C-alpha cells in the first residue's frame, strides 16, 4: 500500500501520507501509465473533480477505490479534510477530469497546504492536452508559453492579448467551444493574422487539427460551430514578423479572394454592398478598414 508504513519496495516511510498528483487520460482511456494505475489502486482515497467521470476510468481498469469530490466550489473545505487524512498517515491520489491536476484545474490549495506542512507531493505524469497539441501543431515547439483560458469578457480578453502581442514563444491556450470564435477574432485583431492551430477533441474519436491563419480559422468556425475540448496554438511574434518581411504569402491572397467571394454571395442574398462588407469582415476576423483595403487591392470595390 502507498501508506505511511511501506513503499512498494519495502522501505520505511514517514508517519504521514503522501499526496499523489495523477495525470489521467484526456480522452482515450488507454492513455494511462502502469504507475498511475498502481497509485490509484493503492491510495487510501482518490480525490476528483467529478466522481462520475473518474469512476468510469476506474471501472474501465478494474479498480475499486473510494472517491471524494474535490472541485473549484469545495476546494478549500475539502483540502482541509484531505490534509487531516494525510497527516493521519493515509495517502491521497488527486486527479482532475482529464490531464494533470492544477493545470487549469483545481488542486493548488491542497498542494500549498502540503508544502507548508512538509507532506510529500509526488507527481505521476501523463497525458496533457497542451503538450499533445503543441507537438502535432507544426509550429515551433522548443520554447512555448502556456496561457490557459483567456478572460471571458471581451475587454479583458483584448487586454490580455495585448500583453501577449510581443511574446516571442509559441502560445498555447485552452478555450471553450462557445468562446472560440470570439477569441480567434480578437487574436486576429490584436496579434495580426498569425499562423495558428485549433486542436479539438484530442485522442478522442473525432480528433481534429485545423491549421491556418487566425482569419481563416475564424471564417471556418463561423460556418462550423466547434464542439468538444479545444486547445489553441498560436505562432510567436518572431514567426509573425518573419512572415511579414518575407515575400507575399499565398494565404493573404486567399483571404482577399475569400472576402470578395463572401461579399458577392451576401449581395446576391439581398444585402447592400456596405452591409455585405461589414458582415464578411466580421466572419473573417477583419476590421472593416482592413476588409475595404483588401477589396481595393483586388480592384473589386
Residue 254: per-residue pLDDT = 63
For the record, the C-alpha cell of 44 comes out as 487510501
Question: 36-86, pLDDT tens digit by residue?
Answer: 999 999 999 999 999 999 999 999 999 999 999 999 999 999 999 999 999
Q: What is the mean pLDDT of the chain?
A: 88
Which residues, in sequence order, are bridge partners of residue 69?
48
Reported confidence tier of residue 278, pLDDT bands at 50, 70, 90: confident
14 has a pLDDT exceeding 90 = no
6 has a pLDDT exceeding 50 = no
Question: 138-149, pLDDT tens digit by residue?
Answer: 999 999 999 999
Q: Could you count the other beta carbons within 10 Å of the beta carbon of residue 72?
A: 10
Taking the C-alpha atoms of residue 157 and residue 159, their distance in angstroms, rounded to an integer, is 5
Q: At what angle do helices 177-191 and 154-164 cross, to 10 degrees?
A: 50
Burial zone of 205 (CB within 10 Å; 0-12 exposed, 13-18 middle, 19+ buried): exposed
Q: Give me the mean pLDDT over the 161-165 stretch.
A: 93
Residue 277: per-residue pLDDT = 85
Reported confidence tier of residue 3, pLDDT bands at 50, 70, 90: very low
Sequence-ordered alpha helix ranges (H) in 104-245: 108-116, 129-137, 154-164, 177-191, 214-223, 237-245
Q: Give me the mean pLDDT over the 130-134 stretch.
A: 97
As a whole-number percent, the residues of the chain with pLDDT over 90 amount to: 72
Q: Could you count the other beta carbons within 10 Å of the beta carbon of residue 7?
A: 12
Distances (CA, A) of 20 to 59, 124, 235: 20, 7, 34
- Quick check: helix, strand or coil at residue 50? coil
Which residues, in sequence order, are bridge partners of residue 211?
197
Question: 185-234, pLDDT tens digit by residue?
Answer: 999 999 999 999 999 999 999 999 999 999 999 999 999 999 999 999 99
Whose CA is closest to 84, among 47, 36, 53, 52? 47
Residue 301: per-residue pLDDT = 53
- What's the whole-model pTM score? 0.73
Taking the C-alpha atoms of residue 233 and residue 138, their distance in angstroms, rounded to an integer, is 10
Report the chain's terminal Cα–Cα distance, integer Å.
74
For the record, the C-alpha cell of 279 comes out as 458582415
296 has a pLDDT exceeding 70 = yes
Q: Give me the mean pLDDT over the 13-18 stretch.
A: 76
Residue 5: per-residue pLDDT = 45
Reported confidence tier of residue 248, pLDDT bands at 50, 70, 90: very low
Residue 260: per-residue pLDDT = 83
2 has a pLDDT exceeding 80 = no
Amino acid at each position: 500500500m502507498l501508506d505511511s508504513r511501506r513503499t512498494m519496495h519495502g522501505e520505511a516511510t514517514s508517519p504521514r501520507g503522501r499526496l499523489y498528483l495523477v495525470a489521467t487520460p484526456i480522452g482515450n482511456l488507454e492513455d494511462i501509465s502502469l504507475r498511475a494505475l498502481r497509485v490509484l489502486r493503492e491510495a487510501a482515497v482518490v480525490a476528483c473533480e467529478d466522481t462520475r467521470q473518474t469512476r468510469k476510468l476506474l471501472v474501465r481498469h478494474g479498480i475499486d477505490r473510494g472517491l471524494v469530490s474535490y472541485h473549484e466550489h469545495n476546494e478549500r473545505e475539502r483540502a482541509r479534510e484531505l490534509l487531516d487524512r494525510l497527516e493521519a498517515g493515509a495517502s491521497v491520489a488527486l486527479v482532475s477530469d482529464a490531464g494533470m491536476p492544477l493545470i487549469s484545474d483545481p488542486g493548488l490549495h491542497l498542494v500549498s497546504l502540503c508544502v507548508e506542512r512538509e507532506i510529500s507531493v509526488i507527481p505521476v505524469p501523463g497525458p496533457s492536452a497542451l503538450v499533445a497539441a503543441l507537438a502535432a501543431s507544426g509550429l515551433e515547439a522548443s520554447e512555448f508559453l502556456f496561457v490557459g483560458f483567456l478572460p471571458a469578457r471581451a475587454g479583458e480578453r483584448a487586454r490580455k492579448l495585448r500583453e501577449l502581442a510581443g511574446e516571442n514563444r509559441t502560445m498555447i491556450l485552452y478555450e471553450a467551444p462557445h468562446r472560440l470564435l470570439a477569441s480567434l477574432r480578437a487574436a486576429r485583431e490584436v496579434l495580426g493574422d498569425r499562423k495558428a492551430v485549433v486542436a479539438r477533441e484530442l485522442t478522442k474519436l473525432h480528433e481534429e487539427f485545423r491549421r491556418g491563419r487566425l482569419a481563416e480559422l475564424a471564417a471556418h468556425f463561423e460556418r462550423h460551430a466547434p464542439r468538444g475540448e479545444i486547445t489553441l496554438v498560436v505562432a510567436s511574434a518572431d514567426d509573425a514578423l518573419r512572415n511579414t518581411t518575407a515575400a507575399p504569402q499565398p494565404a493573404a491572397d486567399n483571404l482577399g479572394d475569400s472576402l470578395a467571394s463572401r461579399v458577392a454571395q451576401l449581395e446576391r442574398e439581398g444585402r447592400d454592398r456596405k452591409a455585405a462588407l461589414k458582415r464578411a469582415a466580421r466572419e473573417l476576423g477583419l476590421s472593416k478598414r482592413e476588409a475595404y483595403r483588401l477589396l481595393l487591392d483586388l480592384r473589386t470595390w
